[in-house]
Chain A
Amino acid sequence: MREKLFNFIGLALLALCFAASLVRTLSRHASTSEDGQPQRITIRFAHWQLEDGPREAFARIAAEYSRLHPEVRIEQLPIPERVFSSWLVTQLVGGTAPDIIELGKGLEIGQLVRYFVPLSDLAEAPNPYNHGTPLEGLPLRETFFDGMEGGYNPLLLEYYGVPISGGSIRLFYNLELLERITGSRRLPRTSGELMALCEKIARHAAKEGVPLVPIAGSRYNAPFLMEALFSSQTQKLAETLNPPGIIDGNPVAQASGYLEGRWNLRSDAVRSGLTLMREVGRAMQPGFSQIMRDDATLLFVQNRAVMICTGSWDATSIRRQITFPLGVSPIPFPSPNDPVYGPHTLGARSEAGVNAGISFGLTRYSSHPEVAADFLLFLASRQANQLWTDVSGWIPSILTTRPGPEVEPFLPVLEGWLPGLMPSISKGFADTSRLFNTSFHLLVSPFGSVEAMIDTLEDDYPEAIRRDLERERLKRIQILQRGDTQLAALAWLARDPAAPPADRARLDLLLQADSTNQRNFYRTRFALEKAGTPSP
């Protein structure tokens, strides 16, 4: 009897639970259904910035927009970084994609073209939301500090995204610990001073017997510091490699330079760079290359590391967790007077070339494209961007906004020299990067060495570079082929003298784009041929 009662209670509880959930589900469905309420439009936008700051800022911006347009409701979809790419693909393919999506993760060129709306028209027109500000009347793209380059896709030669934030890499310091160990809050200004500081910290930790590391490293943020230092050593080398007239670090040029033998892993500059990387790696906690991003942050936040190198986008999260005063400085570069590392370097790197990020694109499947586009314009407006930096503590991207005092140390430092090379040439070079990453532990482990890593890499590097270059070539010719149809069609239309001038202008633009693409393609092919790879 008791058993029956028990069973009954259990099932009754379950039924209750079910009823409650059902009611909730149905009521939610009714309230967000757009069928019966044509006046309430929902625009959804998705991003993966789950750090502290952005979500609140977006919520404020959305609220502000709804205040201006009461018939529109903006819904934010924060998706964890880990599942973002697969989520994105399923949403795009399944046709359920939100109206606006943050670009930059998991998107192939083909998907970008197929699912997103080019924003060039938007970029050339003034932003109505900038009315009443100094930016009024300026074409949208000129209101960004990088000219909207961050939303520009160089392979497609179109604007696809609206970038709303800047970013920079900095070294964060625990000023309390710093003062306790060195007696002052002075931050290192050269890499030499940085290494000396690390040594001091290590000695202090050993003497006091406390678990303290100089720099908190992780798989995520160690590369920031290391790549910066490696590039410092290869600045002069980069100058010799870049084709005349191009001042940007060009992966293709770097790759072809390797295949031609103009540099290799044993070059002085490279070896020096790797040595510097190893030195700084030894200042991080053991096993750092297995540690995840948040674990390193935890280390820093809990007073177990004096420094951490990470981006401005982590500043708000870190600030909210720490109990000590925070110091911020750019990554110290070797001084040209440094006896060991000085000869290869030109000086600190300029951050002027860094583009804005957090770029939002408009999907083709939006059911309210005009409203979504309007919201994008609002996002890119001065007032929204001011809200953005005020609430999130991140760097703004629109000119004439006033970043707060907490954001000041993160603003890009414009003076400086050109960047050098990257040890794995480019993040887009899959094989080279993978090769480098799998041998990385040889570089930083206490039982490894620079020589060991070079030895391991040397044999497979040329082949990996070749494969990556080949893949690059394929990508570029696909871009060309894709553009051919459109070019042909427009050329045909434009033959008619009565054709609207807009068509003619568009054709010119596309022809220009096409020749740039062709040049890129042939350069890549040439690099391959010089290196002895026959092209089909």
Chain B
Amino acid sequence: MNSTLATVPPPPRADEPAAAVPAAARRPRSPDAFKHLVLLLLLGISLFPFYMMLQISLKDNALFFSSPWLPGAPESWQWQNYLYAIGLIFPYVANSVVVSVTATLGCLAVSVGGAYFFARYKMPMSGFLWTAFLVLMLMPSIANIVPLFAVLKGLNLLNTLWALIVLGIAGGLVFSIYVLRNFIEDIPKDLFEAAEIDGASHLQQIRNVVIPMSGSIIGTLAILNFLSTWNDFLMPLIVLRDPEIFTIGVGLIYLDGEYVKQWGHIMAAFVIASLPLIVIFLFTMKLFIRGLSAGAVKG
């Protein structure tokens, strides 16, 4: 029985997410080593697919068949797989970036405005509208695919990227407005009133009060929206016809449909398809984690 009451808790680091209490004071019995073991094991397994993706991407088929688990020697790394994959998949990545970024920006813009509407005052009809929104959250969108296709056709948006952008915006709206509304409601009212007294219009209030205060949650929502449009393949599959405007989802499906699979090329394509996200995550990691934690406590 190991009493850790005697150990001095390490001073909290300045840039750590605020912990309720220094870690050492929270005390379960089992030794840390065991936890590390379990954690490393589980997390290791969950990272395994990506390890495989990386190491296969540098092999050719022959090497892959003979030695599937371990990466080959550095001399044998087939960098040309990446060249080939770039040619294959770069257009799709570009299209996906355009669609996802535009959709995310659009969704955020519209949902900040919408959440502001709900959170600021209880305007007449806002109750009705809010319930309408909530119902949508519970409603499975499954039944919508077919008529959605007809709507897009009527608007002449089929086979365009605009269709995906618009759908991306509309799809993320309800959840974003829901989360944002809760956030904005928690902003102290006097901030708003002060701005109003200073003669700020609603737009300016949003710009000066809402956005700075909800920065982290907006960041998180942005990332979640981006991810969801990035990963979507169903609507692009049925909406897009020309290979030039395919997004990643459809591109990967088509890649998977080839008869003779060059695994090296395919894995290299996967890596490239993940690159934009890696960039985003590496640099906005903290933002994301903090935003999620903050949002979660609210939920």
Q: Which residues of A contact B (CB under 8 A)?
A: 3, 6-7, 9-11, 13-14, 17-18, 20-22, 24-25, 28, 32, 50-52, 77, 79-83, 86-87, 90-91, 93-98, 293-294, 297, 302, 317, 321
Whether A7 pairs with B287 at a CB distance below 8 angstroms is yes
Going nearest first, the 6 A-B pairs with the smallest beta carbon separation are: A10-B283, A80-B257, A21-B94, A21-B97, A90-B238, A96-B159
Chain A residues in 8 Å Cβ range of B253: 80, 83
- Chain B's closest residue to A8 (CB) is B283
In whole Å, how far is A85's beta carbon from the nearest beta carbon of chain B? 12
Instruction: For the complex, give the distance between the alpha carbons of A335 and B93 in Å.
Output: 58
> Is B50 an interface residue, CB under 8 A from the partner?
no
Chain B residues in 8 Å Cβ range of A7: 283-284, 287
Whether B244 pairs with A317 at a CB distance below 8 angstroms is no
Instruction: For the complex, give the distance between the alpha carbons of A17 and B98 in Å.
Output: 9
Whether B94 pairs with A25 at a CB distance below 8 angstroms is yes
Whether B283 pairs with A18 at a CB distance below 8 angstroms is no
Contact residue among A10, A25, A80 (Cβ-Cβ distance under 8 Å from B254): A80
Contact residue among B101, B239, B241, B261 (Cβ-Cβ distance under 8 Å from A77): B241
Q: A10-B283, A11-B283, A24-B94 are in contact. Are A77 and B259 (CB under 8 A)?
A: no
In whole Å, how far is B101's beta carbon from the nearest beta carbon of chain A? 5
Contact residue among B95, B149, B258, B279 (Cβ-Cβ distance under 8 Å from A94): B149
Whether B261 pairs with A96 at a CB distance below 8 angstroms is no
Q: 18 other contacts beyond A24-B94, A81-B257, A94-B159, with CB at 8 A cut-off?
A: A3-B15, A3-B286, A7-B283, A11-B283, A18-B101, A20-B94, A21-B95, A25-B94, A25-B98, A50-B257, A80-B256, A86-B237, A93-B149, A94-B149, A94-B153, A95-B153, A98-B241, A294-B261
Tell which of B15, B161, B242, B253 has the most Cβ of chain A within 10 Å: B242
Whether A83 pairs with B258 at a CB distance below 8 angstroms is no
Whether A22 pairs with B98 at a CB distance below 8 angstroms is yes
Instruction: For the complex, give the distance between the alpha carbons of A3 and B14 in Å.
Output: 13
Whether A83 pairs with B237 at a CB distance below 8 angstroms is yes
In whole Å, how far is A23's beta carbon from the nearest beta carbon of chain B? 9
- Chain A's closest residue to B105 (CB) is A18
Those of B266-287 within 8 Å (CB) of chain A: 276, 279-280, 282-284, 286-287
Chain B residues in 8 Å Cβ range of A22: 98
Contact residue among A21, A94, A321 (Cβ-Cβ distance under 8 Å from B158): A94
Chain B residues in 8 Å Cβ range of A50: 257-259
> Is B128 an interface residue, CB under 8 A from the partner?
no
Those of B217-252 within 8 Å (CB) of chain A: 237-239, 241-245
Whether A86 pairs with B98 at a CB distance below 8 angstroms is no
Whether A9 pairs with B283 at a CB distance below 8 angstroms is yes
Whether B259 pairs with A317 at a CB distance below 8 angstroms is yes
Chain A residues in 8 Å Cβ range of B65: 302
Whether A25 pairs with B237 at a CB distance below 8 angstroms is no
Chain A residues in 8 Å Cβ range of B279: 10, 13-14, 17
Whether B15 pairs with A10 at a CB distance below 8 angstroms is no
Whether A14 pairs with B276 at a CB distance below 8 angstroms is yes
Chain A residues in 8 Å Cβ range of B73: none
Chain B residues in 8 Å Cβ range of A317: 259-260
Chain A residues in 8 Å Cβ range of B101: 14, 18
27 pairs, A vs B, C-beta closer than 8 Å: A10-B279, A11-B283, A11-B284, A13-B283, A14-B279, A14-B280, A21-B94, A25-B95, A52-B260, A77-B241, A77-B243, A79-B254, A80-B258, A81-B257, A83-B253, A87-B238, A87-B241, A90-B239, A91-B241, A93-B153, A94-B153, A94-B158, A94-B159, A96-B159, A97-B241, A294-B260, A302-B65
Chain B residues in 8 Å Cβ range of A11: 283-284
In whole Å, how far is B223's beta carbon from the nearest beta carbon of chain A? 11
Contact residue among A10, A86, A87, A98 (Cβ-Cβ distance under 8 Å from B280): A10
Contact residue among B91, B95, B98, B158 (Cβ-Cβ distance under 8 Å from A95): B158
Chain A residues in 8 Å Cβ range of B286: 3
In whole Å, how far is A419's beta carbon from the nearest beta carbon of chain B? 28
Whether A18 pairs with B284 at a CB distance below 8 angstroms is no
Instruction: For the complex, give the distance between the alpha carbons of A25 and B164 in Å.
Output: 14
Instruction: For the complex, give the distance between the alpha carbons of A7 and B93 in Å.
Output: 22
Instruction: For the complex, give the distance between the alpha carbons of A293 and B259 in Å.
Output: 8
Contact residue among B91, B161, B284 (Cβ-Cβ distance under 8 Å from A10): B284
Tell which of A52, A96, A293 has the most Cβ of chain B within 10 Å: A96
Whether B283 pairs with A28 at a CB distance below 8 angstroms is no
Whether A18 pairs with B98 at a CB distance below 8 angstroms is yes
Whether B97 pairs with A18 at a CB distance below 8 angstroms is yes
Chain A residues in 8 Å Cβ range of B254: 79-80, 83
Contact residue among B95, B242, B257, B280 (Cβ-Cβ distance under 8 Å from A82): B257
Interface string of B112-142 (1 = CB under 8 A from A): 0000000000000000000000000000000
- Chain A's closest residue to B283 (CB) is A10
Chain B residues in 8 Å Cβ range of A86: 237-238
Chain A residues in 8 Å Cβ range of B242: 77
Instruction: For the complex, give the distance between the alpha carbons of A80 and B243 in Å.
Output: 12
In whole Å, how far is B186's beta carbon from the nearest beta carbon of chain A? 24
Chain B residues in 8 Å Cβ range of A94: 149, 152-153, 158-159, 238-239
Instruction: For the complex, give the distance between the alpha carbons of A297 and B286 in Å.
Output: 49
Contact residue among A17, A97, A294 (Cβ-Cβ distance under 8 Å from B97): A17
Chain A residues in 8 Å Cβ range of B244: 28, 32
In whole Å, how far is A96's beta carbon from the nearest beta carbon of chain B? 5
In whole Å, how far is B238's beta carbon from the nearest beta carbon of chain A? 4
Tell which of B97, B159, B237, B245 has the most Cβ of chain A within 10 Å: B97
In whole Å, how far is A218's beta carbon from the nearest beta carbon of chain B? 12
Chain A residues in 8 Å Cβ range of B161: 25
Chain A residues in 8 Å Cβ range of B284: 7, 10-11
Chain B residues in 8 Å Cβ range of A294: 259-261
Instruction: For the complex, give the distance between the alpha carbons of A17 and B100 in Å.
Output: 12
Chain A residues in 8 Å Cβ range of B152: 94
Instruction: For the complex, give the distance between the alpha carbons of A297 and B159 in Å.
Output: 35
- Chain A's closest residue to B244 (CB) is A28
Chain B residues in 8 Å Cβ range of A77: 241-243
Chain B residues in 8 Å Cβ range of A6: 282-283
Instruction: For the complex, give the distance between the alpha carbons of A11 and B244 in Å.
Output: 26
Chain B residues in 8 Å Cβ range of A10: 279-280, 282-284
In whole Å, how far is B103's beta carbon from the nearest beta carbon of chain A? 12
Those of B78-118 within 8 Å (CB) of chain A: 91, 93-95, 97-98, 101
Chain B residues in 8 Å Cβ range of A52: 260
Instruction: For the complex, give the distance between the alpha carbons of A294 and B95 in Å.
Output: 30
Contact residue among A14, A17, A25, A90 (Cβ-Cβ distance under 8 Å from B149): A90
Chain B residues in 8 Å Cβ range of A302: 65
- Chain B's closest residue to A49 (CB) is B259
Interface string of B61-88 (1 = CB under 8 A from A): 0000100000000000000000000000
